[in-house]
Structure 1
Amino acid sequence: MKIGIIGATGHVGHFLTEEALRRGHEVVGIVRHVPETAEPNLHFLNKDLFNLTTEDVQDFDALISAYNAPANEEPLHLEAMKHLVEILAGTNVRLLVVGGAGSLYVDNKLEQRLFETDNFPDDFKPTAANMSKGLDYLRNVENIRWTYLSPSKDFLVNGARTGHYKVGQEQLLISKYGKSEISMADYAIAVLDEIETPQHQQQRYTVCMV
């Protein structure tokens, strides 16, 4: 498949790029700054997300957004979602969004989200709240094919690539070790599994270590 990855050189984007290339897909990294060195067989589109057009993305089988708004500009999460929906409307391109864990529910009645709990760090609340708004917007969209994948509470840059994960929908998951965590490497595996074998179209879901 031909896969575009917005933010391909970021933390999560790096693992997504590696996983997609490992599986033999054609990958285009969509970045504002092209690095001097990069993975072999990785192509780049040097463009800001908000400047992307339908023509830029219409040939992709899937477009992954690993966009993360800068500090103090968190409302851009919603604006980015709106822009992606606008340029993908009417195409056959699947949108896969690297979501946040903050919007996952921590109760069985689905009334309280993680970022609304007392122990959630204040520094991360603006990002979590605005990413949640982006998800709410996406849920009401009918003219594109989308999937939103939330990681566990602890999203580990240096976690192991185990190749195993368990899947949930709207609630925060806990592993058999009592932890809510997923490595970025295993998260990338989950994203590519979903691209290759769609199971969660027009849905948000989440993954956690087993």
Structure 2
Amino acid sequence: MNILVIGANGNAGRRIVEKALKAGHQVTGVVRREGAIEGIPTIVKDALQLTKQELTQFDVVVNATSAFAPDTYYLQTDLTLLLVKALANTNTRLIVVGGAGSLYVDEDHTVQLYDTPDFPEEYLGLAKAQGNAIDILRKFSNVDWTFFSPAADFDEKGVESKDYILGNENFILNKDGNSYISYETYAQILVDEINNHKFSRQRFTAVQN
């Protein structure tokens, strides 16, 4: 498949690029500066300037934008809105690298992880922005979207493992009672979703044992 990775030089993005290439896909990256990533074709521009024509030439668009600072939280919603409007009623799939904070901690889906007393205050703004992003996705039944929430402990230095547990809307723990996943494992599961297309118009999550 022909895949576009927005934020291709970020922690998640570059791993997704590597694993998608290894799986035999064609990959193009969107980066803000020339030379930010090597070995693949790139579109060098602000992601908010991407056009429908640019986006719909791909089979899958992966939004792996790193918007973790308070002055970039708006990207979680603004870029999501741009993408769903551009991809509405097209054959291009959208996969969003989400966060754990918006996962639910109750069966009725009324309380999200970021609503709980022990949720770190420094991550609250980002978690709520990502929650707003998935709310936007849910309103677009004419877009083939998938929102992939990692575990709460998203480890940049961890190794890849094939031993993991998948979930849907709820916050889950691994067999040791931890919410953990490495970037390497997360990226491979995301590429598996590109290949297998199991979570159309759904959110899913994963924890690594």
TM (norm. structure 1) is 0.94
- CA offset at residue 92 of structure 1? 0.6
Given residue 146 of structure 1, which amino acid in structure 2 is its aligned partner? Answer: W
Q: Is the 8 A contact 2:10 2:66 kept in 1?
A: no
Distance 1:98-1:36 versus aligned 2 partners, 3 A rule: closer
Q: Partners of 1:125 and 1:47 in 2: how far apart? A: 29
Fraction of identical pairs, as percent: 37
Q: Is the 8 A contact 2:9 2:36 kept in 1?
A: no
Match of 1:25 in 2: 25
Distance 1:76-1:36 versus aligned 2 partners, 3 A rule: closer
> Out of 34, 43, 46, which is 1:45 matched to?
43
Match of 2:133 in 1: 134
- Where structure 1 has 5 or more consecutive residues not aligned to the other structure, the ranges are none
Q: Is the 8 A contact 1:164 1:186 kept in 2?
A: no
- CA offset at residue 37 of structure 1? 5.8
Q: Secondary structure at the match of 2:41?
A: strand
Given residue 193 of structure 1, which amino acid in structure 2 is its aligned partner? Answer: D
- CA offset at residue 48 of structure 1? 1.3
Q: Secondary structure at the match of 1:176?
A: coil
- CA offset at residue 36 of structure 1? 5.8
Match of 2:4 in 1: 4
Given residue 71 of structure 2, which amino acid in structure 1 is its aligned partner? Answer: N
Q: Partners of 1:31 and 1:37 in 2: how far apart? A: 8
Given residue 100 of structure 1, which amino acid in structure 2 is its aligned partner? Answer: G
Q: Secondary structure at the match of 2:197?
A: coil
Number of residues of Structure 1 aligned to a counterpart in Structure 2: 208
- CA offset at residue 95 of structure 1? 0.1
- CA offset at residue 169 of structure 1? 0.6
Distance 1:36-1:95 versus aligned 2 partners, 3 A rule: closer
* Runs of 4+ with deviation above 6 angstroms: none
C-alpha offsets along residues 96-141 of structure 1, whole Å, 9 cap, x if unaligned? 0001100011223322111111111111101100110110111111
Q: What does residue range 123-162 of structure 1 map to in structure 2 within 5 Å?
A: 123-162=122-161
TM (norm. structure 2) is 0.95
Q: What does residue range 31-180 of structure 1 map to in structure 2 within 5 Å?
A: 31-35=31-35, 38=38, 40=39, 42-69=40-67, 70-180=69-179
Q: Partners of 2:95 and 2:149 in 1: how far apart? A: 11
Q: Which moved further from structure 2: 185-194 or 162-171?
A: 162-171
Distance 1:86-1:37 versus aligned 2 partners, 3 A rule: closer
- Where structure 2 has 5 or more consecutive residues not aligned to the other structure, the ranges are none
Q: Secondary structure at the match of 2:77?
A: helix
Q: Partners of 2:8 and 2:75 in 1: how far apart? A: 18
Q: Is the 8 A contact 1:102 1:115 kept in 2?
A: yes
- CA offset at residue 75 of structure 1? 2.9
- CA offset at residue 31 of structure 1? 0.8
C-alpha offsets along residues 186-209 of structure 1, whole Å, 9 cap, x if unaligned? 111111111111111000010111
Q: Is the 8 A contact 1:68 1:77 kept in 2?
A: no
